[in-house]
A and B are shown apart, each in its own frame.
Chain A
Amino acid sequence: MANNLFVDSYDVASGAFQTAGDASASIKRKLKQLGIDAVTLRRVAVASYEAELNLIIHSNGGNLIMEMSPEEVLLISKDVGPGIPDISKALEEGYSTASEEARDLGFGAGMGLPNMKRNADTFDIESQVGEGTTIKMGFTIKR
């Protein structure tokens, strides 16, 4: 997108529970400064936090990228594996492959991807086992 106002990228490491939410909080803060409406802000915040947690719980590490244009916020989660064997299963509410460690912290309710999908206006997920997963979420900004 040529008319992006803002692009930001955050590295999210596998297993980084202690700093979980930092990237999402930073994205939220920046969008707030950029004057985005409260409803869209909240939707982006929920989706970015879930994406960040998924990177921490499930991936071998990845990036959370936020792009903002005058019309929409685009949130991209891109990891380097391990990939999702059955995406439709992963999108089911309540289905989770989270570790015992993640569950002990209160994650792994199987709500991550459903929460992202529910909050985004557009949701696209592509995954290749052994390669990685890319999730693209679009949020139309209310004026």
Chain B
Amino acid sequence: MKVSELMTLLDAKCVTEGANLDAEISCGYSCDLLSWVLAHGKQGMAWCTVQTHVNVIAVSVLMEMACVILVEGVEAEEASLNKAIEEGMPVLSTTKTAYEVCGIMNKAGIAVPVE
């Protein structure tokens, strides 16, 4: 599934201009501990978090994720948005909870990350 298709399913908007919404999603995840995400993150991952600071973007870029999903309407810090735009990382925003987003991703057949 592409990021753009997931956006439709989640009724989410992309808050980073010019990001690659054609990126293919390999798996879904939800976690707010960045070190934990570094240990378990995967290429092509769609990652739900309520963390909004710039290190979220650094982690997603290092892991070559497909997108970051900010849940429950949390707003990214400006530094995060600038960094995400610079790196071409799609940041999606939704009012849904991480629980709901994961439920939708799971139902849509997006895989669990494989170690």
List residues of A whose CB falls within 8 A of some B CB.
Answer: 17-18, 20-22, 24-25, 28, 42, 45-46, 49-50, 53, 105-112, 114-115, 118
Contact status of A106 and B62, CB under 8 A, knowing A18-B79, A20-B55: no
Q: Are B38 and A106 in contact (CB under 8 A)?
A: no
> Which residues does chain A contribute within 8 Å of B49, judged by CB atoms?
106
In the bound assembly, the distance between CA atoms of A18 and B57 in angstroms comes to 11
**Residues of the B chain whose Cβ atoms lie less than 8 Å from the Cβ of A53:** 35
Is B39 among interface residues, defined by CB-CB distance under 8 A? yes
Give, as a whole number of angstroms, the nearest-CB distance from A128 to chain B: 25
Given contacts A21-B62, A49-B62, contact A111 B35 (CB under 8 A): yes
Interface residues of B in 29-72 (CB under 8 A from A): 32-36, 38-39, 43, 49, 51, 53-56, 58-59, 61-64
**Binding site secondary structure of chain A:** helix
Partner of A25, one of B33, B36, B56, B61: B61
| A-B interface pairs (CB < 8 A), number | 69
Q: Is the interface of B mostly helix, strand, loop or mixed?
A: helix
Residues of B within 8 A of A114 (CB): 39
Cβ–Cβ < 8 Å partners of B39 in chain A:
46, 111, 114-115, 118
- Chain A contacts for B53, CB-based, 8 A: 17, 105
